[in-house]
Chains A and B, each alone.
Chain A
């Protein structure tokens, strides 16, 4: 009797907010414009004038930004790509960012960026068959399915925003895939279906479970991050698989996409037994078209492979906060990937400007400053393309030793949580709570919620309250679900008042569902964000473009929900079929009887012997017995 009630389903929300200047804080269209700007992505510009002018409003947040501008220019100059040979300007960059978190955990974020210098707009005419650094498997997928932009991520674990702050690149729990198709595609759904199946093969993941029941077309939440200002959301498809379990078999194909594989460069650190022995693991692939230079005279495909891990060395290391590359990855670095034009390791030392909190060895004199998520951070830089980084041992093992206790973690500016209220298996209520911890700024937040069809949402019960007052969304886009065909999609634009807690509630009803949906799964959740964009920042800070430094763009994912569903008991389907049919047959039988027969007086039938005798007599033609 216990098996009948443990159907689980998952709901995933992502809240997507754009933090902006009071002057420019407004609608999504504005945010779009940013994306459309020509200079959106480029690493060419080398002027080091980033940090100077944005005397920012963020001082309250960064506890001790001791401006360490000793060599901002020096670092940025390392970013200049060597003037590439004219015909093939493909290039490859790799970097690893390590940030010691206040909780004692260590956040390591790898980014690998491959540029493919090909004019994708004319791609349709001439078949591209020449691949240098760009993986051929993905290149073929791009051209076959006319993909304009592709973002895929696999995540295992729970990103704890309250302890860890915001990650560099957002991704929700499980698998997430969103694709912008080229506007010449006529059968978007067909392409999407095939694409998911192909990607499922490439990444050894169950992306083939993406179908119409979990695919949505957000109208405002997912704008293209690369070139092009396509806003027709008919060419966008978005799906999440919150149940997807990420493991080694997903990592191996992901590593194979790198030009050096896992043979050289930063990728040698990726030993799966270490990476998956972590609190949080997320790997992603982002492909988008970008401009090669500021004037956008030539275009290129950008492939960005990211891998984010959070190691819990505090508890496993008996409370000692020391870590080293070898401890984390059980490997050390010996060389950069020979194909890489840049290969760097960054360590976040923002909290340690004077070296009073911890000590890094080997020490570096290279420093980099970047504005990440509206927050100015300082990084120590180790350039792996230089021989001196590796020292005499020909091996680079970064070591960090804490001297004192670190300060308190600042509360993240924006975070969200959600839960299901109510009891019983019939109805319930989804509560989403969004916190704006900024003391004086209101933020416009675009909320997107995709709920599976087997939870029937009642949008008339939607309430949004901030500071116990009704906060009417200025924009609502709602697409109701179709049973077994389409999930609910709810998008709304809410203004979060400063220093407030906004609660969004909506009631739902659970459907009695079929057997294929009753299996259960647990999904972690994640909060993710994208960073400030300026022209010449390290990779980790240049994904989502934003015009102004103090206005940036954050994407926050909440926990997925686990909802019990009333399920039929499948232990006896034949009994049910038989019994129901019996009752119908009883109805049919009794009506049939009454309709076809007539009332007659019941005469007792003659005994058997007599009937036999009469039967014989009838054959013989003799008169019957009375």
Chain B
């Protein structure tokens, strides 16, 4: 399996290297779909220039990277292209290994359940075979590395690629069972962009499941482990934040990075839901709607954790997808991360209801983004509503996609306990509905 992965990495790096050298790189660098004010490379360079001028990079409204990022690029700015290619490769390898581990776990569980005869007889066709699962890790890596969204993001040198790498490493460490590394990486991801904080719940659930600790609020072992993990997480978050303070000598970065993420002052168009809504929103209601929109990311964590407490890896996927839909400055790089997981759920395919429609919507939107942008900004023959309509449709497609996978996952679980071919009371073939 190492050979195809190596080949894949070589192909991916070649594509990126060619694009970096081509004239397209300049064009991609400015695309609003690919870079947001939070992660634009131009702003990183600007921040470094401000630092050279002796001005705090956070004194203006240009730079919103974390202090650790400045110091990384302070030394690596000349090797930025390599850094971004390595980050992408790292993400792909981490995802590859995580899904490999995950598949092993799934197969082992399935084997135990089968041996204890827990599956209904007609469910055998729902069970997963090693043959089918063999290529899934490679497909996941391929979905990440060869996804045009990832490639664009990498060529634009959007720091989103680095955040993705941190999250992928976090997933790998979690699935490998290292609570310490997982906590540290989660803290790092949170430090980078706040939202991954919701991944705390699935990671905790995974560890509890792995250590056979039941989720029971009265059990001391549950609390012991939860506190332990929370301590690692909060501790490393404090250490990282303190480190940034000492690097920079001021707390300026807190309002400039996290305040910027939460209060959404920059209304540059992007693929998210925030920009046009708050451009049109009356100033009076702004705070209220900011709260309403931001809460969407965090809102689903607890109900999802309860519903999916047996399936933490799927929960991770759901959380990443929700973050990328509802975050304040989404870019295609965020979308690419959760899309990489789709091959891992290929066994849900038969339960997906509108995958054709959704793929058409997403493909059409991706093609229409640059077209309508051009019409609005350069040709002047369209206006902002056109571009807004496409972002709206794109988000609608993403929501459909995620809820469809969620539906399919729940339905498969239902069939695994109740049988695939359900009958009504009168013996005719039944249809399943949500009630």
Cβ of B214: which chain A residues have Cβ within 8 Å of it? none
B121 at the interface (CB under 8 A from A): no
Residues 224-279 of B contacting A (Cβ, < 8 Å): 265-269, 273, 275-277, 279
Q: With A423-B378, A480-B55, A594-B406 in contact, is A512–B430 under 8 Å at CB? A: no
Cβ contact within 8 Å between B392 and A583: yes
Please count how many residues in chain A sit with their CB below 8 Å of the partner chain's CB atoms: 54
Which chain A residue shows the least CB distance to B381?
Answer: A1
Question: A584 near B293 (CB under 8 angstroms)?
Answer: yes
Task: Determine if A460 is an interface residue (Cβ-Cβ < 8 Å).
Answer: yes
The reply to whether A460 and B55 form a contact with Cβ atoms under 8 Å apart is no
Within 8 A of B (CB), among A332-355: none
CA distance A60 to B435 in the complex (A): 96
Q: Once the chains are docked, how many angstroms separate the CA of A152 from the CA of B63?
A: 35
| Chain B residues with CB under 8 A of A594 | 307, 403, 406-407, 410, 434
- In the complex, the answer to whether A584 meets B296 with C-beta atoms within 8 Å is yes
Mask, A578-592, CB within 8 Å of B = 1, is 011001101110110
Known interface pairs A512-B269, A512-B275; A479-B59 also in contact (CB < 8 Å): yes
A424 touches B296 (CB 8 A): no
A5 to B375, CA, bound (A): 12
Tell whether A453 is near chain B: CB-to-CB under 8 Å.
Answer: yes
B281 at the binding interface (Cβ < 8 Å):
yes
Q: Which residues of A line the B interface, CB within 8 A? A: 1, 4-5, 423-427, 453, 456, 458-460, 476, 478-484, 488, 511-514, 566-570, 572-573, 576-577, 579-580, 583-584, 586-588, 590-591, 593-595, 597-603
Count of interface residues, chain B, beta-carbon cutoff 8 Å: 67
- Residue of A4, A424, A590 near B399 (CB, 8 A) is A590
Since A586-B400, A598-B435, A599-B410 are in contact, a sample of 12 more A-B pairs with Cβ atoms closer than 8 Å, ordered by chain A residue number, is A425-B378, A426-B377, A460-B48, A478-B55, A514-B279, A566-B376, A573-B282, A583-B273, A586-B399, A594-B407, A599-B414, A602-B431
Separation of A579 and B392 alpha carbons in the complex (Å): 8
Q: In the complex, are the beta carbons of B59 and A584 less than 8 A apart?
A: no
Given A1-B381, A5-B383, A483-B61, A599 and B269 contact (CB-CB distance below 8 Å): no
Most chain B CB inside 10 Å of its own CB: which residue of A460, A573, A586, A600: A460
Indicate if the CB atoms of B276 and A576 lie closer than 8 Å.
yes
Does the CB pair A602–B403 fall under 8 Å?
A: no
Which residues does chain B contribute within 8 Å of A453, judged by CB atoms? Answer: 61
Query: How far is it, in angstroms, between the C-alpha of A410 and the C-alpha of B434 when the chains are bound?
Result: 88
User: Could you show 20 A-B contacts with beta carbons less than 8 Å apart?
Assistant: A4-B383, A456-B61, A479-B55, A483-B61, A511-B266, A511-B268, A512-B267, A566-B384, A569-B384, A576-B276, A576-B277, A586-B399, A588-B296, A590-B399, A590-B403, A591-B303, A594-B407, A595-B303, A601-B431, A602-B431
Asked if residues A599 and B265 are in contact (CB atoms below 8 Å), the reply is no
Contact B399 A483 (CB under 8 A): no
Q: Are A458 and B434 in contact (CB under 8 A)?
A: no
State whether the Cβ of B45 lies closer than 8 Å to any Cβ in chain A.
yes
Q: Are A603 and B53 closer than 8 Å at their CB atoms? A: no
Residue B62 is within 8 A (CB to CB) of chain A in the complex: yes
Is the C-beta of B4 less than 8 angstroms from some C-beta in chain A?
no
In the assembled complex, B148 has its CB within 8 A of some CB on chain A: no
In the complex formed, the residue of B with least CB distance to A593 is: B434
Closest chain-B Cβ to A572's Cβ sits at a distance in Å of 7
* Alpha-carbon gap, A66 to B266, bound state (A): 63
- The yes or no answer to B395 lying at the interface (CB within 8 A) is yes
Closest approach, in angstroms, between the C-beta of A405 and any C-beta of chain B? 48
Contact of A478 among B50, B61, B267 (CB under 8 A): B50
